[in-house]
Amino acid sequence: MASILGVETLQHTNGTTAATIQTDGTVIMGGNLISTAMTTNTTRKDILSGSGFQDTGLYMPSITPKSTSSKFLMNWNITAHTNSANGSDEYDFAIYRSIGGGSDVQLVANINYVRSDSGSIDHTENIHYLDAPNTTSAVVYKLYAQLLNGGIYINPNTKRQTFIIQELAG
């Protein structure tokens, strides 16, 4: 006959929590990878006017944290094109977050400021960010862009772009 030991939390003798066991049997230990989700995008987005940050339509897949202590590591790798002959295109990006279908809230801005000094050119934007939303409601992360001067063409050749989000135990 097998023995069963039922616990919710494993602790060190000094009181620090080493692991938590969720009701579904998932063991969560700080820093461990819990899940990974990926989405792709082939849509072109041109931002040629306007002020302030604008929604680019580039979203991470919706993900529901296993715990309020979960953290999310996001990786966007996108192509952006600038086109001014005099090199006067300027833009930057911001990451916004929506929890449980609520309003988009800006987390960080000015994360990849670009100024095109050589006229028409493609830029590869690698944007990485770690967030701790402190919730167990569904979370969606969105990329916004702000045009400072000139214009920006995101994914100008409508190629497949991949975005990856990883949930890490807190």
β-bridge mates for residue 147, sequence order: 91
Burial class of residue 78 in the structure, from the number of CB atoms within 10 Å of its CB (0-12 exposed, 13-18 middle, 19+ buried): buried
pLDDT of residue 100: 95
Q: What is the pLDDT of residues 99-145, one digit of tens each?
A: 999 999 999 887 766 666 666 677 788 889 999 999 999 999 999 98
Q: Note if the pTM is more than 0.85.
A: no
Do 148 and 90 contact (CB within 8 A), yes or no? Answer: yes
Q: What is the pLDDT of residues 32-70, one digit of tens each?
A: 888 999 998 898 998 888 888 999 988 888 999 998 999
pLDDT of residue 168: 92
Q: How many CA atoms within 13 Å lie on the side-chain side of 96?
A: 20
